[in-house]
Structure 1
Amino acid sequence: METRVDEVADGIYRLNTEVPGFNFNQYLIVDDEPLLFHTGPRGLFESVSAAIARVIGLDRLRWIGFSHVEADECGALNHFLAAAPLASPLCSKVAAMVSMTDLADRPPRALADGESLALGRRRVTWLDAPHVPHGWECGYLFEDETRTLLCGDLFTQSGGSDVPLTESDILGPSEAFRAEMDYFAHGRRQGELLERLARTQPTTLACMHGSAWRGDGGALIRELATSLERPPQ
């Protein structure tokens, strides 16, 4: 396996690895305190870490964040902590409380809902999104300079991913995948939380699986919310 590296917004790199029938993305934000969002599972560590090293030295990593506790989100976390002595896990307060204080080899930095973190000239803000699509501890990061929403499992596209950044439809493919395997919890606050994400008015959606997307992200998130309200086919 080889992990591909593409810049999808100014200073934000998509690291993509294809596996049979699926693909995994991590996102690297380069600044004074570089941040990696998602680690991939442990089996991808060598490939992903080599890809990061093509952009910055691995030992420069300062933050290793993820949306929720799952193997593809943070399975290789401790591998990265061992390789990056200055790095700390970055997660929601719930993730820190129920999992990361025990699972991570270094204490996590737990962000409250709406709390921002300066990386240098850039700033990221944590947005709690419990059970959207799944996981009590789920949430997302918004990078305000490029208006990039690191949106995790939202808009999951299966198969390979040769196009790093697209302006084409990703809702159709992601909803087709959800029809086969509905990974949404469909919690009672789903619409409210998606509307809150939409109000950040992102222009880049950094999806964990498939192409990143550029356009009116708020409108697309609202389209997703509408689609989720329809009865299953």
Structure 2
Amino acid sequence: METSVDEIADGIYRISTFIPEVAAPAGFTFNQFLVDAEEPLLFHTGMRTLFPLVSEAVGRVVPLEELRWVTFGHVEADECGAMNQFLAAAPQAEVAHGLLGCLVSLNDLADRPPRALAHEETLDLGGKQLRRRRVRHLNTPHVPHNWEARVLYEETTGTLLCGDLFTHVGNGPAVTENDLVEASLDAEGMFRQISCLTAAAETMRSLAELAPRTLAVMHGSSFHGDGAAALNALADGLEARFRPERTFAGQPSVLAGGDTAPS
């Protein structure tokens, strides 16, 4: 495996590892995002087994020991499996997550006490003038899945670190202006990852009000363009394709060995 590093917005880097065996034959990317600022922030850590690759890639942008914040969308191996390895490598680093995630999981799982964030709270990452970076924490419970789910919005560049939203298979470009909606809907048909369709649609329309210019996608290519239109289109597409009367019981899931998660 190889891990690539690409700047997808000013000072925001996509760290990507393609694993062809996952969701074969198309394969699957596992992406982390590094915000280069006075206090560098990592969104997603990757699995523990990816730590050597991901940490080396982080070090291409900033010294690993200077990492200040370790963050992720929800508690899952590909999101935070290497959390404690990053804490060990970066003595000043703190995990930052929503209050619920800290209470339910991270106060116990993290080797150092995490920083609990309130909904809409911001972390000022520092920097000078136009390069100053601020990320806003937004709770998105059950969207796309897990009670403690959240996203981060980098206000200066208009980048939504949207985690599993817009998940799609394959190994496309680091960032694209092409429509990701149909590919994301096809992936949802394969994985059935969204745990509550109503909450997902409402949350995506709420996030669209941010009018993000870049969508930093965890699995697949990131998107640059009209983020509001993309979020609204994905909400519409999910409702049209997966509303309850069109859901068939027993639909196989490529990840769950035949079990199907409800929408």
User: Normalising by the residue count of structure 2, what TM-score does the alignment of the two structures yield?
Assistant: 0.86
What is the rounded CA distance, in whole Å, between the counterparts of 2:179 and 2:160 in structure 1?
A: 17
Q: Name the structure 2 match of 1:191.
A: 201
Q: Is the 8 A contact 1:89 1:109 kept in 2?
A: yes
Residue number among 210, 213, 236 corresponding to 1:203 in the alignment: 213
Q: Name the structure 2 match of 1:217.
A: 227
| Unaligned ranges ≥5, structure 1 | none
What is the rounded CA distance, in whole Å, between the counterparts of 1:57 and 1:190 in structure 2?
A: 37
- 1:1-233 paired onto structure 2 within 5 Å: 1-20=1-20, 21-120=27-126, 121-161=132-172, 163-186=173-196, 188-232=198-242
SS in 1 for 2:5: strand
C-alpha distance after superposition, 1:83-140 (max 9, x if no partner): 0000000111111000000000011111111111100021110111001110100010
CA-CA distance at 1:190 after TM superposition: 2.9
CA-CA distance at 1:228 after TM superposition: 1.4
Q: Is the 8 A contact 2:75 2:101 kept in 1?
A: yes
SS in 1 for 2:38: coil
CA-CA distance at 1:23 after TM superposition: 1.0
What is the rounded CA distance, in whole Å, between the counterparts of 1:148 and 1:188 in structure 2?
A: 24
Structure 1 runs (4+) deviating above 4 angstroms are none
SS in 2 for 1:32: coil
What is the rounded CA distance, in whole Å, between the counterparts of 2:212 and 2:39 in structure 1?
A: 22
CA-CA distance at 1:160 after TM superposition: 2.1
What is the rounded CA distance, in whole Å, between the counterparts of 2:184 and 2:200 in structure 1?
A: 17
SS in 2 for 1:213: strand
CA-CA distance at 1:159 after TM superposition: 2.2
What is the rounded CA distance, in whole Å, between the counterparts of 1:190 and 1:24 in structure 2?
A: 22
% of aligned pairs identical? 53
What is the rounded CA distance, in whole Å, between the counterparts of 2:221 and 2:99 in structure 1?
A: 29
SS in 1 for 2:7: strand
| Unaligned ranges ≥5, structure 2 | 21-26, 127-131, 247-263
Q: Is the 8 A contact 2:194 2:200 kept in 1?
A: no
What is the rounded CA distance, in whole Å, between the counterparts of 2:204 and 2:222 in structure 1?
A: 18
Q: Is the 8 A contact 1:131 1:187 kept in 2?
A: no
User: Normalising by the residue count of structure 1, what TM-score does the alignment of the two structures yield?
Assistant: 0.97
SS in 2 for 1:189: helix
Aligned residue pair count: 232
Q: Based on CA coordinates, which of the two structures has the bigger radius of gyration?
A: 2
CA root-mean-square deviation: 1.1
What is the rounded CA distance, in whole Å, between the counterparts of 1:164 and 1:154 in structure 2?
A: 16
